[in-house]
């Protein structure tokens, strides 16, 4: 009897210790592919050595609202992991926290301030999306792809060749966003004649109604070439100079101001985040979402050294 009681006590102790070990990160997560993949993270406070498991939830949380749902978050996790693996701006296995260079990233304190009382719930949702795709990334020709993504597109995404070097998996595809369920999908930006002339460095013509001489669009409906007051600009140059949300724009003069009507948000290449949200709400899983936005790629899993 004493032996049975002693055995039971040891068994209880074992499972208590095992549970603590798991909660501290020593369980299955510790042997995951992400936890064995090391990155150098460049922050405003200096470089840090982190694992992909530590880095990725905070990047996904910074890049996509938790409300977009589990499958959209998983698609974002795979895209962000792939992007980090393919990033070569700072050397091998290195990424920074500047969203204009690499990926957005917020530490836990910043997320507490953003999420408030929902911090614990929201962080668990993001970590679940990351662990549910552990080590998975998109490859083409055996190498991690340039997994570009953006906020939203109206109708279709952009072909990478229109603004960067052409890549076979970053081509224009349909995107399902609608204005009624995508905030800011269609926006207006208004400029006086003087503001437009200053921003674009124009030598103004007397009649502003003749300033916009023509817009040429590519197959995705985005402006590839624009002529103002005899000067030719790319759509990207106009977007940058005027701070427009995308290069999918039209322009009209009403006698007082120029109104640029802009569709979508971002460069338009790769996965649309709002498109991923819409597809997830329609019942598509993250693998199908990724296959749609990055055609011809293969979903593979990390094998850390």
CA atoms within 13 Å, Cβ hemisphere of 300? 16
In terms of domains, do 202 and 297 share one?
A: no
Question: Same structural domain for residues 200 and 282?
Answer: no
* pLDDT band at residue 31 using 50, 70 and 90 as cut-offs: confident
Q: Are residues 131 and 241 in the same domain?
A: no
**Structure tokens given for 19:** 């549970």
- Residue partners of 153: CB distance under 8 A and separation at least 6: 175, 177, 220, 246, 248, 263, 264, 266, 268, 272, 275
pLDDT of residue 147: 97
Whether residue 229 lies inside any domain: the answer is yes
**Residue 1 included in any domain:** no
Say if residue 59 is in the same domain as residue 129.
Answer: yes
Please write the tens of the pLDDT for every residue from 198-249: 999 999 888 999 999 999 999 999 999 999 999 999 999 999 999 999 999 9
Which pLDDT value is given to residue 205? 83
pLDDT of 283:
97
Q: Does residue 245 share a domain with residue 99? A: no
Backbone angles phi, psi at 27, to 5 degrees: -85, -145
Q: Domain containing 199: what range?
A: 186-263
Q: Is there a domain that residue 117 lies in?
A: yes
Residue 26 pLDDT greater than 90, yes or no: no
Asked whether residue 215 falls in the same domain as residue 241, the answer is yes
pTM score of the predicted model: 0.86
pLDDT at residue 16 in the model: 38
Number of folded domains that form the chain: 2
Residue 41: inside a domain, yes or no?
yes
37 and 144 both lie in a single domain: yes
Pair 290, 254 in one domain? no
Residues 82 and 134 placed together within one structural domain of the fold: yes
What digits encode the pLDDT tens for the residues 66-111?
999 999 999 999 999 999 998 855 656 688 888 888 889 999 999 9
């Amino acid at each position: 009897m004493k032996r049975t009681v002693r055995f039971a006590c040891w068994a209880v102790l074992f499972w208590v210790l095992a549970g603590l070990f798991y909660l501290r990160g020593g369980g299955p997560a510790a042997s995951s592919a992400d936890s064995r993949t090391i990155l150098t993270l460049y922050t405003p406070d200096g470089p840090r050595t982190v694992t992909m498991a530590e880095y990725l939830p905070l990047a996904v949380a910074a890049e996509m609202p938790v409300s977009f749902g589990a499958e959209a978050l998983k698609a974002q996790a795979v895209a962000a992991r792939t992007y980090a693996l393919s990033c070569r701006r700072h050397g091998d296995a290195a990424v920074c926290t500047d969203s204009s260079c690499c990926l957005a990233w917020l530490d836990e304190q910043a997320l507490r301030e953003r999420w408030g009382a929902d911090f614990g719930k929201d962080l668990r949702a993001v970590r679940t999306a990351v662990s549910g795709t552990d080590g998975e990334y998109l490859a083409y020709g055996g190498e991690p792809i340039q997994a570009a993504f953006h906020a939203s597109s109206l109708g279709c995404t952009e072909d990478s060749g229109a603004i960067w070097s052409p890549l076979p998996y970053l081509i224009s595809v349909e995107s399902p966003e609608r204005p009624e369920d995508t905030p800011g999908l269609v926006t207006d930006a208004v400029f006086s004649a003087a503001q437009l002339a200053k921003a674009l460095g124009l030598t103004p013509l007397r009649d502003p109604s003749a300033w916009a001489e023509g817009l040429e669009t590519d197959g995705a409906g985005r402006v590839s070439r624009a002529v103002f007051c005899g000067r030719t600009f790319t759509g990207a140059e106009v977007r940058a100079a005027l701070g427009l949300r995308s290069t999918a724009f039209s322009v009209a003069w009403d006698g007082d101001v120029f109104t640029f009507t802009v569709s979508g948000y971002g460069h338009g290449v790769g996965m649309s985040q709002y498109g991923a949200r819409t597809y997830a709400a329609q019942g598509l899983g993250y693998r199908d979402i990724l296959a749609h936005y990055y055609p011809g790629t293969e979903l593979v899993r990390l094998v850390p050294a």
